Amino acid sequence: MSSVKKILLVEPPFYRLYKDTYALSLYPLSLGYLAAVVKRDTDWDVLVYNSDFVVNAEPLQFGYMTGEGYASYLKNIKDRSARVWQEVRAAIRDYQPTVVGISAKAQNFASVRIVAGIVKELYPSAVVVVGGPHPSMVREEVLKCPEIDACVVGEGEATLVELLRRISAGQGFDDVKGVCFRKNGRIITTKPRELIEDLDSLPYPHEYAPSVLKDYEKYPAMAFKSVFALRGCPYCCSFCGSRYIWSRKVRFRSSENVALEIQCLQKKGVNTIRFDDDTFGVNKDFINKLCSALIKYCPGIKWSCELHVKLVTGEILSGMKSAGCYSIHIGVESGDNGVLKEIKKNITIEEAFAANNLIRKMGVEAHAFFMIGFPNETEDTLAHTRDAMQKIDSDTVVYSVFTPYPGTELFELCKTQGSVSVDFDISLYNHQSPANYFCLKIPQERFRKLAAEIAQMVDRKNNSAKMRRMFSSMIFRKLREAGFKGVAQKGLSLLRGCLGR
């Protein structure tokens, strides 16, 4: 191992375990922030390795991930000679890191364990640190994996910088806030770290990407489209762990700071942005200020976001569209109001349909998240959700099967009801896993049959919508090329109406 101080930040493979042409074709933003502060604030060499990236990735198909893809996933997490693990091993060997930081979510934790094991096989003295949502939720549980030396709880930028300085000085982690680690055979959990109050103090992650991202030249410009405008979520959805990681207190970057970052991305050829916030904007005042800043600093930018149903108004949508918003995701989750109340979604299905229709009326793409299989789901509530998926006039439906993430309210409910066992392995369950079954009011075989039928229905609906959009865009382009600029937009609207759009 090299004597130079080196930290390798790894996004473990996940989509590639289902199919080698599936991928996370983005610069992982959380690792981008970590690499940027390490580069700016320490004398360590840093490399970000997205092992879930492939060039020209294939679009995901929910039906495939549930069936043949899941079988491939199980095979790959058991077979460490698989091609993807050979690539991971080669990347680690080439870099010879002193410290390896791995980004861990509940669904990719099997992959995290394998990456940690490969590190220790190659370099037993390397320090393996895990951060991200999963260790923030379960803390000490992560250290049951002997290859993991420490985990970061909560926001990681300041904690990682301090850990590296301690490692450089040969000091322990006892008084480093926001970590769990082993000491003399015991697991030590330190005091929580304070949240970063001034988010504008963080560097722009994409600014450092050329010097820290492995294979940077292979990434298309659009791999760098993700931006955070805020941290925190004020909502209380019982299936979600966001508030346990970021808290319910929402911290905003200044609108100018966000707009100037996007302006830098535009200069790099990124013309479409996606806001990765759990919920975009959160309040009307911030949304208005940000839209004004985007109009001022980023003319021509196009962007998408996830917006809470309660925030969808004509006034807000008008401002967002004027600032370049072309696509909005809304979290519907269930088509049954009783389920929505139980999961603390704070909306009704009628409000969700109204929000979706208003988004479409404003000429903005609408995409709807749905989830089935909640703990007290019945065949009736499931039928309501299926009907809502079919009826909603959205550009796509994003379909999931409920997964109980450790640390959430619904995970505890599943434990009480007996659908989560003592030896529950979260890495075998994800939103498309055929193993997911946590609603005891529907027999398992029946539930899995219904879930598979819904997955196929969603794929058909989405593929059909994609073909309609492609056909509409082609006609629009032909009208413009023929010189009918004044009527092209009206013609497109009429065509969409004829096509059921």
Between residues 85 and 407, the one the model is more confident about:
85
475 shares a domain with 426: no
Stated pTM of the model = 0.89
pLDDT band at 248 (very low <50, low <70, confident <90, very high): confident
| Arithmetic mean of pLDDT over the chain | 90
150 shares a domain with 256: no
In a domain, residue 208? The reply is no
358 shares a domain with 300: yes
pLDDT for position 172 = 93
Domain count, the chain: 3
Say whether pLDDT at 217 is over 80: yes
402 shares a domain with 350: yes
pLDDT band at 3 (very low <50, low <70, confident <90, very high): low
pLDDT for position 478 = 56
Between residues 214 and 4, the one the model is more confident about:
214
358 shares a domain with 483: no
In a domain, residue 205? The reply is no
pLDDT for position 488 = 47
The residue assigned the tokens 């269930």 is: 334
DSSP code of residue 151: E
In Å, how far from its chain's centre is CA 350? 27
Between residues 185 and 297, the one the model is more confident about:
297
Contacts of 329 (CB under 8 A, 6+ apart): 304, 305, 306, 307, 367, 368, 369, 398
pLDDT for position 270 = 96
pLDDT for position 501 = 47
Say whether pLDDT at 317 is over 80: yes
The residue assigned the tokens 């609906």 is: 461
Report the SS3 class of residue 127.
strand
Lowest mean pLDDT segment, chosen from 112-126, 337-351, 412-426: 412-426
CA distances from 456 to 215, 385, 395, 435, 473 (A): 36, 15, 17, 17, 26
Q: Are 37 and 160 in contact (CB under 8 A)?
A: yes
180 shares a domain with 231: no
161 shares a domain with 30: yes
Domain, as residue range, for 326:
225-442
Interior angle at CA 73, CA 103 and CA 77, nearest 5: 65
Say whether pLDDT at 67 is over 90: no
Which of 139, 172, 189 terminates a domain? The answer is 189
Which of 154, 194, 215 shows the shortest CA–CA distance to 30? Answer: 154
What are 181-207's pLDDT values in tens digits? Answer: 999 889 999 999 999 999 999 999 999
pLDDT for position 20 = 93
What is the identity of the amino acid at 68?
Answer: E
Compute the average pLDDT of residues 202-230.
Answer: 96
Say whether pLDDT at 325 is over 90: yes
369 shares a domain with 482: no
Compute the average pLDDT of residues 79-108.
Answer: 96
pLDDT for position 495 = 46
Say whether pLDDT at 92 is over 60: yes
CA distances from 45 to 2, 3, 96, 171 (A): 11, 11, 11, 19
DSSP class per residue in 2-68:
-SS-EEEEEE--SHHHH-TT----S--HHHHHHHHHHHHHSS-EEEEEETT--TTPPPP-HHHHHTH
Q: What is the CATH number of the domain that holds 153?
A: 3.40.50.2300
In a domain, residue 209? The reply is no
430 shares a domain with 486: no
What percentage of residues in the chain have a pLDDT greater than 90?
A: 76
Backbone angles phi, psi at 273, to 5 degrees: -115, 145
465 shares a domain with 316: no
DSSP class per residue in 407-442:
TSHHHHHHHHHTSS-TT--GGG--TT-TT----TTS
Compute the average pLDDT of residues 92-107.
Answer: 96
134 shares a domain with 26: yes
pLDDT for position 492 = 47
pLDDT for position 467 = 66
Pairwise CA distance, residues 234 & 243, whole Å = 7
Compute the average pLDDT of residues 151-170.
Answer: 95
Between residues 241 and 496, the one the model is more confident about:
241
Q: What is the dihedral of CA 470, 474, 480, 486, to 10 degrees?
A: -50
DSSP class per residue in 164-184:
HHHHHTT--STT-TTEEEEET
Backbone angles phi, psi at 312, to 5 degrees: -80, 105
CA distances from 13 to 105, 112, 154 (A): 11, 8, 22
What are 438-492's pLDDT values in tens digits? Answer: 999 999 999 999 998 998 899 888 887 676 655 555 554 555 566 655 544 554 4
The CB-based long-range contact list for 253-257 (8 Å cut-off, 24+ gap) reads: 253/199, 253/200, 253/228, 253/229, 254/200, 255/286, 255/289, 255/290, 255/292, 255/293, 256/293, 256/297, 257/199, 257/200
